A and B are shown apart, each in its own frame.
Chain A
Amino acid sequence: MRKAAEWAVTAAFALVVYLLLVLWTGDLGLWSPAELIAGVVLSLLVGLVAAPILWERGGFRMLQPHRWVLFLFYLVGPFFLAMARANLDVAYRVITGKIRPGIVRFNPGLKTEVGQTLLANSITLTPGTLTVDVDDESGDFYVHWINVKAEEPRPQDVCGPFPTWARRIAE
């Protein structure tokens, strides 16, 4: 039962993306019948392959809609701001060549895979920090930092408010 639900939800997500991609291809309406049939078959196949990987360890939490609202707010608000600021910082370092690189370790205390992925991708997308490895068992993050300020940093030293937001969105 649970397997079937996981399959159906994943297939529905794939179908939505497919339908957006082939928008306005039909002669009469938005989609032609051939596109719709191909989309259903393809998204069922995608669901079959992706569902077992996608819903491990707390993935179903992301189906609650308020988490998506929070995620969108995080994306255009705090995340974009931090990204812009970090970009200017790295631009300064590209021009002057003042770098102090190193790989630091910290533990943000995230338990679900969705939260860890969200935080790791946020860290990697922000210039100046790059997630090299995540320890699945202990939840330790190994981050290459272009300007090491502390050799034993707290999570907020490396990536600002990201761990708080990752916990709010995914856990």
Chain B
Amino acid sequence: MNILIYAFLAIGAAFNGLGAVALIRFPDVYTRIHGATKCTTFGSIFFILAVVIYGFAHGGGEGGTLAVHALIALAALLITNPTGSHALARGAHRGGIRPFRAVVDRLAEGKR
């Protein structure tokens, strides 16, 4: 059980670290949103799974409460994260920021 928890924590930390690297390496706001929001969501899912497993292994009222709260946090994360990153991207595009080195930009063409 402990091995599973450690494995999930390691995967989560790896993907969250990758998100931080993406923030430095990618050139513009849209590609950075890809790295900074998506990789960290995937990492956080594994963090939360580790907490859920720990909660159920811990057992009793306390562990069960921990697991249920973590699952509600996961649901909230899965709903709010794409909504937030979509709002950031839409706001950036409406604010006139064009994607860097883009091969095609259908949205700017459509709004013309």
How many A-B pairs with Cβ below 8 Å?
125
A142 touches B26 (CB 8 A): no
| Cβ 8 A contact of B18, one of A23, A91, A99, A128 | A91
Nearest-neighbour CB distance to chain B for A70, whole angstroms, equals: 17
Q: Residue B54 at the A interface, CB < 8 A?
A: no
Q: Is the interface of B mostly helix, strand, loop or mixed?
A: helix
Nearest-neighbour CB distance to chain B for A77, whole angstroms, equals: 15
Nearest-neighbour CB distance to chain A for B33, whole angstroms, equals: 6
Q: Residue A124 at the B interface, CB < 8 A?
A: yes
Interface centre among A23, A102, A142, A144 (most CB of B within 10 A): A144
B72 touches A20 (CB 8 A): yes
A90 touches B68 (CB 8 A): no
**B1: A residues at CB distance < 8 A:** none
B31 touches A146 (CB 8 A): yes
Nearest-neighbour CB distance to chain A for B55, whole angstroms, equals: 12
Known contacts A124-B86, A142-B106; A83/B42 CB under 8 A: yes
Instruction: Kindly state the separation between the CA atoms of A151 and B99 in the bound complex, as whole angstroms.
Output: 15
B79 touches A105 (CB 8 A): no
Nearest-neighbour CB distance to chain B for A43, whole angstroms, equals: 15
Nearest-neighbour CB distance to chain A for B54, whole angstroms, equals: 17
Report A109-146 residues with CB < 8 Å from chain B CB.
120-122, 124-128, 130-133, 135, 140, 142, 144, 146
Interface string of B1-44 (1 = CB under 8 A from A): 00000000000000100100110011110110111001101100
5 A–B contacts, CB within 8 A, in A order: A87-B38, A90-B39, A97-B25, A103-B105, A121-B79
